Each structure stands twice: as structure tokens, then as C-alpha cells.
């Protein structure tokens, strides 16, 4: 959906967000040609800050597309905020429930309409200490396999200066440098037509995340580390139990 087809509430959101971002950031936008066109695309992005959606939305809008983000369903139940998100055609996700299938159906429908669907494959802000990408979850791969839509990698560096998740610190100074780069589609052709097994989806996801990591290294510099893995959670049953006096 291009800018010319935006509804009232979408234009209202642009009027709120874009002037703020124009003042707050000094932007380097690269690779916009990979987003142009009318067909559905899956945009996969690295996740380094709560400011990411504002920065990436500005970039995608300037490229002539309307971004459609996945958001936690609980956010869509917040008064006013949830109502506006619905009006702006964002997509709620019920995680770890049977209703998650409905979210996939909504994403497929958005792509069929020529939408630009934005997915953070990591599912959360990276926990890697230097903000390099983590291993991803398989939602983007599953969607790509189901639809055949191109997967466009979008990397950004600079939103962590707007809000650093490691310190929970905002920087409200104007013209903070941010860089966003879109690359050519990730080559997932070897898996085309495959059955979406766990192994297949994980292989596709690793290919997507490695592409994001290497593309990020081009703008950050340095040698990127292996994809960071979340440490396994300690099972409740394995945790030390307090004795009757409350001591561990």
C-alpha cells in the first residue's frame, strides 16, 4: 500500500510521528530500491532498541510503503492505543496460543494485498551484550515458505542511541545519527516448496539471521560474532527450594 492510498488514521499517525523523527534523527537511508513496487514483501529487521519501530517505520514510509507490524495482542487491548493500531492496519499476535494461526492468516492476507509486513525474527530486543543479532524464531521463515514472498533484510544502527536497552536511557537531543539499510532479498530458493518441518524452518531462519548479522557488520564495522543463543531457562523443579525456615 503506497502513500497515495493511506486512510485518515494512517495519515494522522504520519503527521504525529514523522515530524518528531525528522527533528530527533539525522538519517542515512540506503537500499530503498529494494522496497519499491506493489507486491507483498516480508521485511525482516534486527532489533536493538524500543526506538526501532519508529526509525524503521520512517524509513519504510519514505521508501513509499506502508509498514504493517506484528504486535503483542495485549497492546491492542490498551484503550486508545489499541484502537489506533487497528485503524493503522497493524497486526496483533497471540503468542503461544491456538489463536497464533489467525495471526499467520492475517499476515498472508496482508501480503496478498501487496503489503509490507515487518517482522523482528528475534522476537524481542537482542540480549547480545554488544547488540549483535541473536538466533531467530521461525515465524518469518514459515511465512516465506507459505507465501513465496521475498524476504528483504533491513538493518539499522543508531536507534540504540535514542534509547539504549542496556541502560534504559533516553537521549532526546536533536539530530542523533541513525542508519538504515535494506538489502536484496535473502536467497531462500533451496527451500522453496519444502515441507515446513522444524529442521527446515530453523535452517531458513539461520540463513535470514546470518544475512542480517553480516549486513549489520557492513555499517557497524568489525567482525561479527556467531549468532547469540539465549541460555536455557532453569526448570522450576531444578531450582533450590527453601527449607521450612525460608533459607535456601
> Per-block average pLDDT, block size 10, for the chain (248 residues)?
73 95 98 93 97 97 94 85 91 70 84 95 94 95 95 98 96 98 97 95 98 97 91 52 41
Cα 199 to Cα 192: distance, rounded to the nearest angstrom? 14
Does any domain span residue 115?
A: yes
For Cα atoms 36, 152, 111, give the angle at the middle one, nearest 5 degrees. 70
Grid-cell match 543508531, residue found: 158
**Residue 234, in any domain of the structure:** no
Domain tally, the chain: 1
The single-letter DSSP state of residue 228 is: B
Range(s) of the domain holding residue 90: 3-221
Helices 52-62 and 8-24 sit at what angle, rounded to 10 degrees? Answer: 110
Q: Specify whether the backbone of 124 is left (phi greater than 0), alpha (psi in -120 to 50) or beta.
A: beta
Q: Which CATH number goes with the domain that contains 88? A: 3.40.1130.10
**pTM across the whole model:** 0.89
Strand 151-157 and strand 41-45: the pairing is parallel
Amino acid at each position: 500500500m503506497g502513500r497515495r492510498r493511506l486512510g485518515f488514521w494512517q495519515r494522522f499517525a504520519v503527521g504525529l510521528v514523522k515530524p518528531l523523527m525528522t527533528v530527533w534523527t539525522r538519517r542515512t537511508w540506503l537500499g530503498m530500491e529494494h522496497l519499491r513496487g506493489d507486491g507483498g514483501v516480508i521485511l525482516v529487521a534486527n532489533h536493538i532498541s524500543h526506538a526501532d519501530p519508529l526509525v524503521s517505520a520512517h524509513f519504510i514510509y519514505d521508501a513509499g510503503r506502508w509498514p504493517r507490524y506484528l504486535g503483542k495482542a495485549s497492546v491492542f487491548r490498551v484503550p486508545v492505543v489499541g484502537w489506533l493500531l487497528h485503524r493503522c492496519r497493524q497486526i496483533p499476535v497471540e503468542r503461544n496460543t491456538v489463536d497464533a494461526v489467525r495471526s499467520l492468516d492475517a499476515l498472508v492476507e496482508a501480503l496478498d494485498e501487496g503489503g509490507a509486513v515487518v517482522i523482528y525474527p528475534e522476537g524481542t530486543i537482542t540480549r547480545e551484550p554488544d547488540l549483535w543479532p541473536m538466533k531467530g524464531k521461525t515465524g518469518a521463515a514459515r511465512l516465506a515458505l507459505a507465501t513465496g514472498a521475498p524476504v528483504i533484510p533491513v538493518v539499522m544502527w543508531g536507534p540504540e542511541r535514542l534509547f539504549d536497552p542496556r541502560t534504559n536511557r533516553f537521549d532526546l537531543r536533536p539530530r542523533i545519527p541513525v542508519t538504515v539499510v535494506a538489502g536484496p532479498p535473502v536467497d531462500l530458493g533451496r527451500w522453496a516448496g519444502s515441507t515446513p518441518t522444524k529442521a527446515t524452518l530453523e535452517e531458513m531462519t539461520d540463513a535470514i539471521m546470518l544475512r542480517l548479522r553480516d549486513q549489520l557488520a557492513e555499517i557497524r564495522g568489525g567482525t561479527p560474532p556467531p549468532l547469540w543463543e539465549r541460555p536455557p531457562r532453569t526448570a522450576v523443579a531444578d531450582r533450590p527450594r527453601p527449607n521450612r525456615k525460608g533459607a535456601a
